[in-house]
Amino acid sequence: MKRHRWSITLAVSLVACFLVLQEVAVRRAQALSNDTYQELDTFASVLAIVQKNYVEPVTTKKLIDGAISGMLASLDPHSAYLTPDLYRDLEVETRGSFGGLGIEITIKNGALTVVAPIEDTPAYRAGLKAGDQIIKIDDDFTKDMSLTEAVKRMRGPKGSKIRLTLHRNNVPELFTVTLARDVIKIQSVKAKMLPEGYGYIRVTTFQENTGEGVEKAIDDFESKDHGKIKGIVFDLRDNPGGLLNQAVKVSDDFLDGGLIVYTQGREENQQQKYFSHKKKDWVDYPMVVLVNGGSASASEIVAGALQDQKRAVILGTQTFGKGSVQTILPLDDHSALRLTTARYYTPAGRSIQAVGITPDVDVAPPKETIASITQQGGEFDENPEIHERDLPHHFQNGQKKDGSPATDENALPAPGADKGDKAPGAKGAKGAKAKEEKDVQLDRAIDILKHWNTFKLQLAKGETQSAVSGEGESKSKGD
């Protein structure tokens, strides 16, 4: 017995392992419906047929990767399969530095379309505009090209050249722009003092340390005015979003307690509430937030929180309407899924998915004129903005038009990504410096700050739009 003890122990262990594996297999089988098994059987048949009959040999991995990408792309515009390379790029991008062109893109009507160029990047300096359709990348047509493939094509080492063939609305001919890739280092927070003595903070994207950058700007304003702030213009125009925790942190900087945002999904860990902290020596200084159609996701979280808490006047045009939360789910092979897992809601219980934040004061920038278009034959562009509701496979916000919860089974109850104006200082497609246009939205924001006592009462009563509109109309005649 002693001589064979080790063999007996091994046999018992093998039997135990077999029983455990059998139990796991049974549980997995029980978790999948018969319909799922039938569809998987169909998928396996298609896979075998393709591998046997396709004109060229194709690997199983390539087919599986394509199937996963297509599956996620069919869900909504924001879910995606991230290969190991794309997953690494995403991690680098959230830290604020990556190699490429500096451009936000999406798919609209089957065409690769510019959402917005990022400030101080090759795309921005080359004069790319929201709504431009990218017809070709170098010599390759982009028709039916996935977003992940397009991003991969545009990334590259610093100094390497890339040609984009573009179509612009109301410009009859295609034109080509050659850009040199650069290391894109996004300075997410920019701040300055306006001539009138008000502070100006612009957040271009929500990435790591954005909250710290905003706090530093606030401290600088206080130090320049003996510990006081006369007022702040907070610019979120053309901000495509970013990290949720940074949106919460920035909102917290301007609020003195209360709910900032909450999320609702199918899993318990997707039911989250985020609150601001009570602060000592709190000062409720005047504040105007600028938004437009390029303000998306995290930007809308901040704008919605400040609007619902009546902390600031929201000024500009309707925001993008991306009210969903994407979770990065790593896989064993160092790839990952970017999966939409929840909707987010403002403190008042509003889901802005496919709707957006409606500003308290609606101020649109001047419409583009023929003279402002650099290409020959350009005409008036009526509506260059792209919104969430324009994207294929977008889902609804789960609420009725009056804001109450929808009654369908997929509704979530509510408890009790130029796109906008052209940024100043951008250069035209030929490299000539464009004439700096008057920023009517910023001017109106400053006007509101100057007359803050007039608007404060209306803000508390929710009557800001009518009051400010009347004030603006009386002044606009002399502009």
| Catalytic residue IDs | 297, 308, 322
Q: Choose among 294, 254, 258, 292: nearest CA to 274.
A: 258
d(CA 53, CA 341): 38
Q: Cα–chain-centroid distance for residue 85?
A: 21
d(CA 123, CA 38): 48
d(CA 189, CA 236): 10
C-alpha angle 374-421-440 in degrees, rounded to nearest 5: 115
Compute the chain's Rg from CA coordinates: 26
Secondary structure (3-state) at 322: coil
Q: Choose among 264, 259, 342: nearest CA to 305.
A: 259
3-state DSSP helix/strand/coil % of the chain, to nearest 5: 35, 20, 45
d(CA 82, CA 60): 18
Write the DSSP assignment of 113-154 as a string of letters.
EEEEEPTTSHHHHTT--TT-EEEEETTEE-TT--HHHHHHHH
Write the DSSP assignment of 48-113 as a string of letters.
HHHHHHSSS---HHHHHHHHHHHHHHTT-SS-EEE-HHHHHHHHHHHTTEEEE--EEEEEETTEEE
Would residue 253 be called left, alpha or beta, if left means φ above 0 and alpha means ψ between -120 and 50 degrees?
Answer: alpha
Contact 199, 231 (CB under 8 A): yes
d(CA 100, CA 102): 6
